[in-house]
Amino acid sequence: MGEPLDWQRMDDRKASRIAVYRTDLDPRDESQRPTQYKWLLDHMQRFAQVFGNRIKDLPLEEPIEDSVAASSAEGADG
């Protein structure tokens, strides 16, 4: 990624979060939007490049699509 990442382990869940932060911009300042959007797009692309294949190669118990579809169906029934 080229910069430090914040690994956030979630012991109570079957998940973790990897984050990167930029604190020198104010999300309420509309004049900074072009800079914010450029930074977000760049980092989304970098995350996809660095982690995309790693995520695809994870051994999952069931495909994510099946899990999401089942959750959606359960929500529609209830």
**What is the mean predicted confidence (pLDDT) over 49-64?**
80
Mean per-residue pLDDT, 47-52: 88
Contact yes or no for 39/26 (Cβ under 8 A): no
Q: Helix/strand/coil (H, E, C) string of 19-77?
A: ECCCCCCCCCCHHHHHHHHHHHHHHHHHHHHHHHHHHHCCCCCCCHHHHHHHHHHHHHH
Q: Which residue has the higher pLDDT, 18 or 74?
A: 18
- The tokens describing 74, both together, are 């359960």
The pLDDT, as a whole number, for residue 59 is 84
pLDDT of residue 54: 84
pLDDT at 4: 85
| pLDDT over 70 percentage in the chain | 78
With H, G, I as helix, E, B as strand and everything else as coil, classify residue 2.
Answer: coil
Tell which wins on pLDDT, 20 or 78: 20
